[in-house]
Structure 1
Amino acid sequence: MAFTDLLILFLALLFLRFWWRYWSVTGGGPKNLPPGPAGWPIVGNLGQVILQHRHFVFTVRDHLRAKYGPIFTMQMGQRTLVIVTSSELIHEALVQRGPTFASRPEDSPIRLLFSVGKCAINSAEYGPLWRTLRRNFVTELINPARVKQCSWIRKWALENHMKRLRREASEKGFVEVLSNCRLTICSVLICLCFGAKISEDEIKKIESVLKDVMLITLPKLPDFFPVLTPLFRKQLRQAKALRNKQLECLVPLVRKRKAFVESGGNGGPEMASPVGAAYIDSLFGLDAPGRGKLGEEELVTLCSEAINAGTDTSATTLEWALLHLVLDQEIQEKLYKEIVEHVGKDGLVTESDVEKMSYLGAVVKETFRRHPPGHFVLSHAVTEETKLGGYTIPENASVEFYTAWVAEDPALWDDPGKFRPERFLVGDGVDVDVTGTRGVKMLPFGAGRRICPAQTLGTLHVLLSLARMVHAFKWLPVPGAPPSPAETFAFTVVMKYPLKAVILPRV
């Protein structure tokens, strides 16, 4: 072999060696990143994750967390991910040092399209715009007076829900839990956002479009290799088409509501909430820092965010709760007896009733613990380079908090794999702070500055829906087709085989 060939081979091997060292994250070194799995040249750990043929959530849960411990790093293409799994470090980052970890990483062109350049509560960077949007949301949608004022919406939606369950059971012999719960929760949130009572067909159309929006904004290859974004023009065209479809669904509701507000409350029967009672009413005149008055695209984004965030998480929680009630009739009977003690066999369960039902609260908390709606909270980013657990967190890194593990940790919970609501009445769940403020044992809503602002409203929807369904029906497995607790990922961790159940009217 000629000297020139040997030189070229040597330089190529040297180049690959440097690439390997650069993309292999082993902790320490000049960057002092947390340790983690060695990556491949250029792609880092991305290729290894893809070859698992499983969603990243399950790879972290079943393999990486146990191997690399409370904090580790993964190099996913051009993105550095710092993954935090321990109760202590999650509490330190999100609660004790909340402002430092409160921002968001850069978004892909597709997510920027749907958020109108991060003009949304979940995606906005930590700063004046985020504060204004979140403060307005809390003040106008989930303050106790507004929740009470809009109780008729939940009453209306749940009446339709019960009728639909009876009709479906009569026609099929069973009911499909998730699809029915999604439709009902979505109808509640559409009415809360737009003050409108719309047809079931319209609700289904909006729900389907918004579900597609959630799925198309999940991380894809260009998120990890922004340099390759121009090669994915087809994906961007598909996203733009879906965005247009989203606008076509919701802009008419925006315009109808605006006309209703400007007319002083004169409008058709579709506008059911009085002026000032719908979330969007507060957005029409909002002066958003750096944005000014919000346009139709921003209004659609903010209302879609509220509907999407509440629909999927609440409906999924109801499905998991009913799975356990179907599998354990003793728990179901105990819950039914508590409901009857408060409202009688023929009474109507109200919002004030569910607040007094301790066992109902325990069932819902145990469902949140065993099946948190998100195993990770949404991606965080630090506002400046900092340290956590003795390691450096770079300013441009995505910090991912794997919060599901703390609810499975045997050091924090007795027999954590067992569904046992009683633990929240007498045992290791008593006085657990689900907000994580006093300490982290379970975080169904996240924690710190970015905690879900609608946690109380979402919990109310789950409590009231579950109580109504158990009060009206006995839930049983479909004969010959027992339900499976197998999981899959669809924005949240859901049942791989959607729950079907036989319902028998209570007598």
Structure 2
Amino acid sequence: MEFIDLLLLFVTLFLAIIWFKYWSVTGGGQKNLPPGPPGWPIVGNLIQVVLQRRNFMYVVRDLRTKYGPIFTMQMGQRTLIIVTSSDLIHEALVQKGPIFASRPADSPTRLLFSVGKCAINSAEYGPLWRTLRRNFVTELINPARIRQCSWIREWAMDIHLKRLEKGALETGSVEVMSNCRLTICSVLICVCFGARISEARIKEIEAVLKDVMLMTAPKLPDFLPIFTPLFRKQLKEAKELRRKQMQCLVPLVRSRRVFVQGGRCEESNIGGDMEMVSPIGAAYIDSLFGLEPAGRGRLGEEELVTLCSEVINAGTDTSATTVEWALLHLVLDQNIQQKLYEEIVNSVGKKGSITEENVESMKYLGAVVKETFRRHPPSHFVLSHAATKETELGGYTIPAHANVEFYTAWLTEDPSLWKDPGEFWPERFLEGDGVGVDVTGAKGVKMMPFGVGRRICPAMTLGTLHVYLLLAKMVQAFKWVPIKDSPPDPTETFAFTVVMKTPLRAVILPR
């Protein structure tokens, strides 16, 4: 036998031993795991998924039909428990909330960007997560703080409407997604850092943070960590992107710290293209400067950049995606758009200013947004969960620390929960099967655009407010119609959130 053959045999046996050891620790076939597709040695179902050349959400959709509401996939060294039904999701995340409230182990790439899980979304269930989340809720999304920052939204959305009008004059139509992302990103940068910066700089930050989201999406080393050394180039690229992220945001951190330490309570132009416009205590980062989470101590610039990036990333994509999908249906169905416009005019007039209080009282606007969340959830999964201890769900064993993935898109497609689920019908939330639906999932789960239970998105009220305001202002100012001979394409694809494969462009006609 040739030396190379002996070497390959040795490597194969070595990997098989490691695999068997891991398989026995995580449960494997000897425990009562949910059923699932048979896998290959060592790699499990990983190669089978890769060879399909489809996004994972479509693979899961097909497997749910075959294996039922809960099934297992062995993806390399990770055991994935896929949960798809309303009852099981409610049981896990609400009734057994503390058990399913943690996060699984992260890859070296994600640990790099989260500074060792020092982020609200990625932190394991425990003291660090509680401290970060409590601070976020208290300092950023309490009603008084939201009212205090209303001028930021008004400023950014006035610019938004002018930019749309200018774009329409120059090209004859406007792209929805890019404009909405830019506006929401500018709002969240100002909310986080108390600074008003140039559009060019906002675009730079937006682009870098978008790359961060794509870089941290699941990749092969997540499922086969033993092969991580073979992906040194990928880790090197991640470190370079992290350097760019720090380069973009550290100046904002330092400028705000100088502003706070100087005790200046009025707006201050500190040079360049940055102006401090929020009073001390009004910016999210102000609350982080003195925060000392258990086990971490005083937060450094790495952690501050990570926590602010988390807010900007999560809030920008989900809100912009929702507005794009909502406008798609308003363009395709002018009757829905006209009903919404009439409600806006009846509430504030044709040229009246639209405030937070106004949109919260607009019932048809609320129905349009809820139907958009139902028909087009920002993601087909919530972020991965992990059980803090071995437990039972649906009569099956869930190993501790295994990835538990909640496939939430099926909730919105389930004909036992919704009448004509494929139809976009806002009235269902006024007089149909959507009346009384609780998006927090406390009483039952029919839709969960923000997750449910202990790890529900803490900024869901703020994100929804941004969608309300953008949609209302854009419909009040313009009539949205299709481009002649170029109808919008509703085909979806995945880019952190589920977006339109061909970004929506439409003609806008001033009202």
Confirm or deny that 1:76 pairs with 2:79: no
Match of 1:3 in 2: none
Match of 1:268 in 2: 269
Following the alignment from structure 2 to structure 1, what is the Cα–Cα distance between the partners of residues 23 and 36? 11
Match of 1:407 in 2: 412
1:359 to 348, 359, 364: 364
- Aligned residue runs from structure 1 range 465-476, under 5 A: 465-476=470-481
Confirm or deny that 1:396 pairs with 2:401: yes
Amino acid at match of 2:334: Q
Contact map agreement 1:23 1:75 (CA 8 A) in 2? no
Contact map agreement 1:28 1:34 (CA 8 A) in 2? no
- Give the TM-score, by structure 1 length: 0.94
Confirm or deny that 1:277 pairs with 2:282: yes
Match of 2:169 in 1: 170
Following the alignment from structure 1 to structure 2, what is the Cα–Cα distance between the partners of residues 346 and 454? 30
Decide whether aligned partners of structure 1 residues 400 and 322 sit closer, same or farther in structure 2, where only a CA change above 3 A counts: same
Match of 1:301 in 2: 306
Shift of 1:146: 0.1
Following the alignment from structure 1 to structure 2, what is the Cα–Cα distance between the partners of residues 29 and 109? 28
Confirm or deny that 1:422 pairs with 2:427: yes
Following the alignment from structure 1 to structure 2, what is the Cα–Cα distance between the partners of residues 317 and 410? 23
- Aligned residue runs from structure 1 range 191-230, under 5 A: 191-230=190-229
- Give the TM-score, by structure 2 length: 0.94
Shift of 1:345: 1.1
- Aligned residue runs from structure 1 range 62-73, under 5 A: 63-73=62-72
Confirm or deny that 1:339 pairs with 2:344: yes
Unmatched 5+ residue regions in structure 1? 1-8
Following the alignment from structure 2 to structure 1, what is the Cα–Cα distance between the partners of residues 119 and 350? 44
Match of 1:110 in 2: 109
Shift of 1:348: 1.4
1:486 to 484, 491, 508: 491
Shift of 1:28: 9.6
Match of 1:39 in 2: 39
1:330 to 330, 335, 351: 335
Following the alignment from structure 1 to structure 2, what is the Cα–Cα distance between the partners of residues 359 and 272? 35
Match of 1:4 in 2: none
Contact map agreement 1:176 1:501 (CA 8 A) in 2? yes
Following the alignment from structure 1 to structure 2, what is the Cα–Cα distance between the partners of residues 210 and 157? 19
Shift of 1:85: 0.2
Confirm or deny that 1:161 pairs with 2:160: yes
Following the alignment from structure 2 to structure 1, what is the Cα–Cα distance between the partners of residues 192 and 279? 12
Following the alignment from structure 2 to structure 1, what is the Cα–Cα distance between the partners of residues 472 and 58? 32
Match of 2:52 in 1: 52
Per-residue CA deviations over 1:421-445 (Å, capped at 9, x if unaligned) read 0000001000000010110000000
Following the alignment from structure 2 to structure 1, what is the Cα–Cα distance between the partners of residues 72 and 64? 11
Contact map agreement 1:206 1:249 (CA 8 A) in 2? yes
Amino acid at match of 1:58: Y
Contact map agreement 1:23 1:41 (CA 8 A) in 2? no
Contact map agreement 1:23 1:40 (CA 8 A) in 2? no
Decide whether aligned partners of structure 1 residues 484 and 284 sit closer, same or farther in structure 2, where only a CA change above 3 A counts: same
Unmatched 5+ residue regions in structure 2? 1-8
Following the alignment from structure 2 to structure 1, what is the Cα–Cα distance between the partners of residues 30 and 104? 23
Following the alignment from structure 1 to structure 2, what is the Cα–Cα distance between the partners of residues 389 and 28? 18
Per-residue CA deviations over 1:91-133 (Å, capped at 9, x if unaligned) read 0000011000000000000000000000000000000000000
Match of 1:247 in 2: 246
Amino acid at match of 1:308: N
Per-residue CA deviations over 1:341-369 (Å, capped at 9, x if unaligned) read 00111211111110110000000000000
Q: Secondary structure at the match of 1:197?
A: strand
Amino acid at match of 1:400: E
Following the alignment from structure 1 to structure 2, what is the Cα–Cα distance between the partners of residues 412 and 116? 41
Amino acid at match of 2:269: G
Percentage of pairs with the same residue: 76
Amino acid at match of 2:367: A
Match of 1:5 in 2: none
- Aligned residue runs from structure 1 range 119-130, under 5 A: 119-130=118-129
Following the alignment from structure 1 to structure 2, what is the Cα–Cα distance between the partners of residues 481 and 376? 32
Confirm or deny that 1:181 pairs with 2:180: yes
Shift of 1:396: 2.8
Shift of 1:374: 1.3
Following the alignment from structure 1 to structure 2, what is the Cα–Cα distance between the partners of residues 28 and 115? 30
Following the alignment from structure 1 to structure 2, what is the Cα–Cα distance between the partners of residues 244 and 265? 30
Amino acid at match of 1:414: K
Amino acid at match of 1:173: G
Following the alignment from structure 2 to structure 1, what is the Cα–Cα distance between the partners of residues 332 and 228? 47
Amino acid at match of 1:198: I
Q: Secondary structure at the match of 2:276?
A: coil
Shift of 1:31: 1.2
Give every structure 1 segment of 4 or more consecutive aligned residues whose post-TM-superposition deviation is greater than 6 Å.
none
Confirm or deny that 1:139 pairs with 2:138: yes
Per-residue CA deviations over 1:227-274 (Å, capped at 9, x if unaligned) read 111111000000000000000000000000000000012642600000
Per-residue CA deviations over 1:445-497 (Å, capped at 9, x if unaligned) read 00000000000000000001000000000000111110011010000110000
Shift of 1:30: 2.1
Contact map agreement 1:28 1:35 (CA 8 A) in 2? no
Following the alignment from structure 1 to structure 2, what is the Cα–Cα distance between the partners of residues 442 and 201? 37
Q: Secondary structure at the match of 1:43?
A: coil
Decide whether aligned partners of structure 1 residues 28 and 264 sit closer, same or farther in structure 2, where only a CA change above 3 A counts: closer
Q: Secondary structure at the match of 2:40?
A: coil
Amino acid at match of 1:165: L
Per-residue CA deviations over 1:194-247 (Å, capped at 9, x if unaligned) read 000000000000000000000000000000000111111000000000000000
Q: Secondary structure at the match of 1:493?
A: strand
Q: Secondary structure at the match of 2:427?
A: helix
Following the alignment from structure 2 to structure 1, what is the Cα–Cα distance between the partners of residues 369 and 348? 19
Following the alignment from structure 1 to structure 2, what is the Cα–Cα distance between the partners of residues 396 and 193? 33
Amino acid at match of 2:77: Q
Q: Secondary structure at the match of 1:425?
A: helix
Following the alignment from structure 1 to structure 2, what is the Cα–Cα distance between the partners of residues 103 and 233? 29
2:296 to 291, 296, 300: 291
Following the alignment from structure 1 to structure 2, what is the Cα–Cα distance between the partners of residues 145 and 383? 35
Amino acid at match of 1:222: P
Per-residue CA deviations over 1:107-163 (Å, capped at 9, x if unaligned) read 000000000000000000000000000000000000000000000000000001001
- Aligned residue runs from structure 1 range 92-111, under 5 A: 92-111=91-110
Q: Secondary structure at the match of 2:38?
A: coil
More displaced stretch, 40-49 vs 305-314: 40-49
Shift of 1:23: 7.7
Following the alignment from structure 1 to structure 2, what is the Cα–Cα distance between the partners of residues 330 and 491? 31
Confirm or deny that 1:449 pairs with 2:454: yes
Shift of 1:193: 0.1
